[in-house]
Amino acid sequence: MPQTRKKLPNGVSKKDASAGQPASLLPGFEESCLPATADTVRHLTPGDHIPGLQKALLDWFAVHQRALPWRVSYTPYEVWISEVMLQQTQMERGVSYFLRWMQRFPDVATLAAAHEEDVLLLWEGLGYYSRARHILAAARKIMAEHGGVFPSDLASIRALPGVGPYTAGAIASIAFGEKLPCVDANVERVISRIFDVDSPVKQEPAAGVIHRWALKLVPEGKSREHNQAMMELGALVCRKKPLCGACPLAAFCISHHLGIADQRPVPGKRAVIKPVNAVTGVLRIGKNIFVQKRPPSGVWGNLWEFPGGRVEPGESPEQASVREFMEETGFEVRVTANYGVIRHGYTTYRLTLHCFGLELMNPCGGAEAEKYSEACPPPLQLTAAQQYKWTTPEELENLAMPAAHRKLADSLFNKPAATSDEPASATVRQARLTE
C-alpha cells in the first residue's frame, strides 16, 4: 500500500518543497522527529557537507536569534559577565540580573572599585557565589595588570580568576572573533545528535570527539555568529525534547536520519542528590535581629546568615536549633515560634530548613530582666562565622544572604503581614520555592 503524502500548506508548491531545503523548514509543514524518508528530505552526511551546514545554521540564526542585551555592542566585559551569569541560570532570569548588574557596575573599573559585599548582594539569587568573588578578583587583576583594558589573547583571558576553558573560548570568539568553539551543554546536544555520538558526552572519548567537531564547524571570520547560533539552536530547537521539524540542520543530522534524536546525547551517571535536614534560628531583641557572616572559604563564603546547622540523629529540630545556637555563638536560647519549613534545591543536595524564632534565656529577674531584654549583647564565641551583627529588618535587605535564608527573611520582614488569625508559619510556607 503506497504511503500517503502530507498535504503541503497553501502557497507552497512541490517545487518549493524540494528546492534545496527540507520541507520541515517551510511554515506550517514541520515533520516530527521520525527517521528521514524519501518523502521528507535527502540526508546529507554532515562531515561531507560542512559549508552547507554552516550556511544553513547562520541563515537560521540571522532570522531567529533572540534580542539579548549583550548582543548590542559585544564588549568583552558584557560578554564575560553574561557568560558567567548564564551558567546554571535560565535565560530570562539571566537577562534581568545582567541589566541590573550593568546599571550598578557598567565597566571593569567600577566593578574593581566595589566592595565584595556589594557584589555578593547584587549576585544574590544566582547561587555559586564563588563566581561573583572570582569576577571581582578578575576585574581587579585587569585594572592592575592590563591597565583596565580587557585582555584579548586567549592565554591572558584564561589567566583571569574563575575563567575556565569554556568561558575563555566564549570571550575570545564572541568578543574578539578568535576561531574557537564554545562547547556548552546546548552545543554538546547539537553535535552529539548531528554526528550520532554514541557514548556519554561528558566523558572521553565522546568529549574529545565533540570538541574536535565543534572546532571544525567554526567558519573563518564568523566565529561570533556561529558559536552563538550553535548555542541558540540547542536552547530553542535542539532541546532535550528535540523539535526536529523546525531544525535548519535536520538534513545533515545523522540521529534524525536514523530516528534516534531523542536518544542523543547519551547521558552519563546522574549525580546523587543528597537530602540535608537542617535548622536555623532567628534571635530577636526588640527590633534587632542577630546575624553572622560566614568565613571567606567554604559553603556560602562571606554571606550573612541566621545561625544553625544540621539536625543530629535522635534530636528534634527544636532541640537542634537551641544546640546549634549555643555551639556557634555561646548564647543560651529557647524556641518561641515555629516559622515552618523552607525547602531549597541545590545541584547536589536538597535542603530542608526548619525555621524557628528564638529569644535569649533571661538570667535575671525584676528590674534587671527588663533592662536585659533591651540590650543586644555580643556573642560569647563565633565558631562558624568571622563576624556578627545586630541588625534591623531594613538593614537586613542590604546584606547578601544564601537563598534559603533570604526566603526566610523575606517571609518574616518584607512580605505583607499575616492576618490576625493566620499563624506566622503559614507566611513562611507560602515561600517554599525551588530554584
Which residue in 30, 31, 78, 83 is the catalytic one?
83
What are the two backbone dihedrals, phi and then psi, of residue 53, each rounded to the nearest 5 degrees? -65, -45
198-206: Cβ within 8 A, 24+ apart: 198/264, 198/266, 199/266, 200/265, 200/266, 200/267, 200/268, 200/269, 201/265, 201/266, 201/268, 202/268, 203/268, 206/266
Task: Kindly calculate the radius of gyration of the chain based on its CA atoms and give it in whole angstroms.
Answer: 28
Grid coordinates of 178: 578568535
Element (H, E) at 37: none
Conformational region of residue 345, where left means phi above 0, alpha means psi within -120 to 50, and beta covers everything else: beta
Please state, in angstroms and rounded to a whole number, the distance separating the CA atoms of residues 372 and 368.
6
Longest dimension (CA), the chain: 99
Place of cell 564588549: 75
Taking alpha carbons only, the member of 417, 423, 401, 396 closest to residue 340 is 423
The contacts of residue 20 (CB under 8 Å, 6+ apart) are none
Residue 225 is a catalytic residue: no
Please state, in angstroms and rounded to a whole number, the distance separating the CA atoms of residues 77 and 70.
9
Residues annotated as catalytic are 83
